[in-house]
């Protein structure tokens, strides 16, 4: 008489590829979907400045009043110490592979290619436009002359604050030139109003 116990279908072990989550175990596929949704970030859609609308340029600056400037990365590196450090990628030698690899201290800004300005007082589209012109060596005299007289002080001060925050030598130099131009115009304007008088035997 055989003592072998009868086998049942319930005792058949599952195959290695038939791995299903338990009732209390979260589905790994749902984790992947959730993680993808969490990483996705919607890029703000704003109009581009007519002078800076070339989307092939590497960096997208968005002013605090929602105007986009598409700027070559080298222009920002030239015009600002902060931008230059932000976009710099330190390269180190990897002794194991003898290849060059990015240093881990490289900032995330080199991957996003988008910077959103937040200060509503001096990071507006007008100030950014002046900054970019200053970096290119374009005189700001005509730009400032088109600004109403009562608003010029605020416009010039905004350029100064922008230059200080982003450590921009060209913008600071442009600010000083604009200030000198305004002082010179004010001097000659006041002089023209002065009464004529004789000086050293002659008249003005």
Q: Distance between alpha carbon 149 and the CA centroid of its chain, in Å? A: 30
Look at residue 77 in the predicted model and tell me its pLDDT: 95
Is 24 domain-assigned?
no
Is 183 domain-assigned?
yes
Separation between Cα atoms, residue 55 and residue 75, nearest integer Å: 15
Is 182 domain-assigned?
yes
> Looking at the 3D structure of the chain, how many domains does it have?
1
Is 204 domain-assigned?
no
Is 0.85 topped by the overall pTM?
Answer: no
When the pLDDT of each residue in the chain is averaged and rounded to a whole number, the result is 75
Is 103 domain-assigned?
no
Is 158 domain-assigned?
yes
CA distances from 152 to 74, 87, 141, 184 (A): 30, 33, 11, 15
Is 141 domain-assigned?
yes
Is 143 domain-assigned?
yes
Q: Whole domain around residue 66: which residue ranges?
A: 45-88+117-190
Specify the CATH number for the domain of residue 184: 3.30.710
Report pLDDT digits (tens) over 60-77: 999 999 999 999 999 999
């Amino acid at each position: 008489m055989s003592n072998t116990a009868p086998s049942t279908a319930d005792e058949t072990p599952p195959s290695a590829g038939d791995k299903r989550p338990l009732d209390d175990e979260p589905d790994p596929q749902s984790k992947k979907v959730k993680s993808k949704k969490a990483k996705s970030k919607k890029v703000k859609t704003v109009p581009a400045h007519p002078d800076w609308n070339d989307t092939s340029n590497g960096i997208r600056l968005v002013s605090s009043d929602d105007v986009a400037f598409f700027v070559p990365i080298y222009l920002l590196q030239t015009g600002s110490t902060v931008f230059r450090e932000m976009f710099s990628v330190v390269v180190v030698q990897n002794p194991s592979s003898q290849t060059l690899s990015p240093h881990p201290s490289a900032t995330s800004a080199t991957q996003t290619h988008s910077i959103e300005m937040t200060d509503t007082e001096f990071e507006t589209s007008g100030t950014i436009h002046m900054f970019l012109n200053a970096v290119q060596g374009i005189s700001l005299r005509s730009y400032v002359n088109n600004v109403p007289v009562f608003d010029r002080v605020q416009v010039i001060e905004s350029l100064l604050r922008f230059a200080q925050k982003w450590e921009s030598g060209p913008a600071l130099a442009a600010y000083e030139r604009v200030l000198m131009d305004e002082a010179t115009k004010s001097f000659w304007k006041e002089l023209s109003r002065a009464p004529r008088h004789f000086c050293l035997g002659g008249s003005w």
